[in-house]
Structure formats: C-alpha cells, structure tokens
Amino acid sequence: MAATAVLLPDAGPLITMAYADALDLLFKPGWPIVLVDMVLHELTRSPTPTSEKLAQWIAAHAAASKLSIRTTRTFQHHQQTLAANPAAARTAHLGELAIQETMNDFTLDQPQKTGVFLFEDHKIARASFLLPDNCRKVSTRAFLLFLEQQGWLESAAEIERRAILAGRNFSRLRFPPE
C-alpha cells in the first residue's frame, strides 16, 4: 500500500498501544491516521487506565495535523439518542459502525484511497464486516508484525509483552489465522 493508504484504528489497538507506551508506532508506515469521532468518544468517555494518555496523545497529534478526527453520522445519532433518552442509547460496537461508515464513504468519495481498518476485538475478526474493495481489515498483532517485517520495529512480541505486563488483556485470537 502506497501513501494513499489511510489508517482507521478502532479503540482496541489504540488502548493496547497506550498500555505498551507505543502509540507513535502507528505513524511508522507514513499513512495518515483518521480517527472516527465515535472511537474518540469510546476512548475518552470514562476514566480508564489509558483514557487520559490517549486523550493527550490524540489532542497533540491532531493539533500537529498528524491525525484527523472524522465526523460520522453514527456519532451524531448516538449523541442525539443520549440527549433524548440516555437509557435507550446503545453503546456496543458503535465505533466499528462509524468505521464501516467511513470505509463506505471512502469507496464512494475517495476510491483511490485504501482504508486500513486496524482492529483488535476477536469478535470483529469473525464478523461479516462489509469490506469495500479499497479497504483492508488488519489486527493489532498483524500490524505489529508488518512493522517488524519492514524493519520499523525490533520486536512485535515485545510490544505485546509490554502491553500485557502493563495490564492489557490482549486478544489471544490471531488474525489472519496462522
């Protein structure tokens, strides 16, 4: 994938990289990073061991134009539902829906770009996600191995180890399967 690739991370990979103090590895391929607003909300709506670190990292890199936040109809709908009836607001899998929305928009508006959906949740690996022709689904583990193969990272296993030692419950599922 050339410079026309765009990295679309879900919350899971960002959390894992935050636990491993390795968020800047996301920039190694040189691809623009597009964070959908719903994923940003998922990462920062509640205090967690990584929420403040992620909020600061995202704000710093958005201000430096190293990543952008993409507005989605999914998040707008979620906000409207929360305002109207908080008890009725769905929260599960909305980040993935917002990423799906973005990938569909790429197909229609920017077919020359390749959306690289970076995920970690083992349920997504098995999900029948509609993956447009110009989009790819890549797990955190596969992304780290890619960085290692390119010589941009000494050890993918070391990043996993650091995240686990810091308290991350990292998915045991390997995608693609070995």
Confidence of residue 88 (pLDDT cuts 50, 70, 90): confident
pLDDT at 124 exceeding the cut of 70: no
Strand partners, 33: 7, 67
**The amino acid at 121:** D
| Interval 22-45: pLDDT, tens | 999 999 999 999 999 999 999 999
What are 69's strand-pairing partners? 35
Token code pair at residue 82: 């929360």
By percentage, how much of the chain surpasses pLDDT 90?
A: 57
Half-sphere exposure of 1 (CA within 13 A, CB side): 19
Of 118, 94, 122, the residue nearest 7 (C-alpha): 118
Q: How many CB atoms lie within 10 A of CB 175?
A: 18
Please state, rounded to an integer, the average pLDDT across all residues of the chain.
87
Complete domains list, the chain, with CATH: 5-165 (3.40.50)
Q: Which two tokens stand for residue 52?
A: 């403040």
What global pTM score does this model have? Answer: 0.88
Q: Is 68 helix (H, G, I), strand (E, B) or coil?
A: strand
Q: Cα 9 vs. chain centroid, distance in angstroms?
A: 2
C-alpha–C-alpha distance, residues 116 and 135, integer Å:
6
Average pLDDT over residues 142-154: 96
Nearest Cα residue to 32 out of 130, 120, 102: 102
